[in-house]
Amino acid sequence: MKLKIGYKELIASAMTQIETVPLAKAQDLLGDSNTVFVDIRDVRELEREGMIPNAMHAPRGMLEFWVDPESPYYKPIFGEGKRLVLYCASAWRSALATETLQRMGVPNVSHLEGGFSAWKKAQLPTVDKASKP
């Protein structure tokens, strides 16, 4: 089967429309109370690999529903006007998700250059996923 557009083209197109936060700048944003790192990976990835300290987990499959105030799944943190820095493992899912949130009208949304893999490779701080009570 030949697709009209493949994942590489989708990602490349998204990258021309979104802001990518370099690792060094992201590290500086880590302690900023007006910035929320949003981990969109599957929970199994978080449990296996850890996550960025104080990041919020918003599974990719629920992101649009959590962001939309009209959704029954809305999470108020997305309406606080804070800078959102999305990330996944390799910055593919986060690029597509960032583009989607921009299209929805979410302001001040970007994604992490290289994703969590690059973050870990740069030996930046990580924490284990907090377990639910």
Instruction: For the chain, 133 residues long, give each residue's pLDDT as a single digit of tens.
Output: 888 999 999 999 999 999 999 999 999 999 899 999 999 999 999 999 999 999 999 999 999 999 999 999 999 999 999 999 999 999 999 999 999 999 999 999 999 999 999 999 999 999 998 766 5
Write down the pLDDT at residue 129.
84
Residues 35/82, Cβ–Cβ less than 8 Å: yes
Output the CA torsion sign for 75, 95, 7, 105: positive
Partners of 86 in the β-ladder: 38, 111
Residue 133 confidence (pLDDT): 58
What's the token pair of residue 11?
């990602």
Q: Are strands 83-87 and 109-112 parallel, antiparallel or unpaired?
A: parallel
Q: What angle do CA 25, 30, 35 make, to 5 degrees?
A: 90
Identify the pLDDT of residue 112. Answer: 98
Which residues have C-beta within 8 Å of that of residue 66, sequence separation ≥ 6?
Answer: 58, 73, 74, 75, 78
Give the domains, in start order, of the chain with CATH numbers.
Answer: 17-121 (3.40.250.10)
Query: Looking at residue 55, what is its pLDDT?
Result: 96
CA–CA dist 22, 29 (Å, integer) = 11
Looking at this protein, which amino acid is placed at residue 57? H
